[in-house]
Structure 1
Amino acid sequence: MHVLLGWSVLTLVFVDELLAMAAVGIWGWDRDPRWLLVWLLPLAAMTAWFLFASPKAPYGGGLVRPTVKVVVFALACLALWDAGQEGWAVALLVFSVVVNGLAQLPAIRVLVDER
């Protein structure tokens, strides 16, 4: 049962990461040149995540990984807020804090460490 709960939380963490990328794209949609920013901004966020925040990040370290995660999620929430989606910004912030907090529980961390 613990394993099922753990993988469910990790799935929600992945969904949270996808939502953060979408939030940055929404902000890009509100700006000019729309056609470029709607793709470029999420790509930049994904690249930062890949390089510094993912579990196998080549440049992620003890302090770097959590810092980049906080920055990416904070910018995603701010992007939604600035795009006029205040309710969704707050919802994303709460969801991000809850699922990433749950992912830090020892029973769930062990699933990540096993991989």
Structure 2
Amino acid sequence: MPAALGWTVLALVFVDEVLAVWALAHVGGHLGGWPVGLLLAVSAVAVWWMFASPKAPWGGPIVRPVVKVVVFGSAVVGLFWTGHQAVGVALLVFSVVVNALAMLPSVAQLAESASDPGRP
């Protein structure tokens, strides 16, 4: 895969993560207004940073994918719960596709080289 296409995939993975946080903020807003929405969004970002980001201090080969499924699954279920079924399905499909593409060896190597500047 050309590097430009790989970087596009990685950018779409980031967009997907932002959409999941937005969805959780939206769900929190339905649960208890904007303070709950903000709390849910900040909590999702903190959990993602601790366990699912490329440089997560407590991530690992088992923890990272489990946390990703929990965050994206919560966002999709929350969208369904708030009456946004079409948006929930769209987020689910988009998440599965871009994260599957990100697992391709050429894209995964780009991500690893970006997180380790000393690597060629």
With the shorter chain as reference, the TM-score category is over 0.9
- Structure 1 equivalent of residue 38 of structure 2: 39
Partner Cα separation in structure 1 for residue 51 and residue 35 of structure 2: 24
1:15-26 equivalence runs, <5 A: 15-26=15-26
Partner Cα separation in structure 2 for residue 112 and residue 41 of structure 1: 27
Partner Cα separation in structure 1 for residue 62 and residue 34 of structure 2: 35
Deviates more, 1:1-10 or 1:98-107: 1-10
Alignment pair present for 1:60 and 2:59? yes
TM-score w.r.t. length of structure 2: 0.92
Structure 1 unaligned blocks of 5 or more? none
- Structure 1 equivalent of residue 90 of structure 2: 91
SS in 2 for 1:78: helix
Cα offset, 1:113, TM superposition: 1.2
- Structure 1 equivalent of residue 10 of structure 2: 10
Percentage of matched positions with identical amino acids: 51
Cα offset, 1:31, TM superposition: 1.6
Cα offset, 1:35, TM superposition: 2.8
Partner Cα separation in structure 2 for residue 38 and residue 21 of structure 1: 10
Partner Cα separation in structure 1 for residue 34 and residue 65 of structure 2: 31
Amino acid at match of 2:4: L
TM-score w.r.t. length of structure 1: 0.96
Cα offset, 1:77, TM superposition: 0.3
- Structure 1 equivalent of residue 104 of structure 2: 105
- Structure 2 equivalent of residue 48 of structure 1: 47
- Provide Cα deviations, 1:30-89, integer angstroms capped at 9, x if missing partner: 122x13111000100000000000000000011011110111000010111111100000
Structure 2 unaligned blocks of 5 or more? 115-120
**Alignment RMSD:** 0.9
Cα offset, 1:29, TM superposition: 1.3
- Structure 2 equivalent of residue 74 of structure 1: 73
Amino acid at match of 1:105: L
Partner Cα separation in structure 1 for residue 5 and residue 39 of structure 2: 35
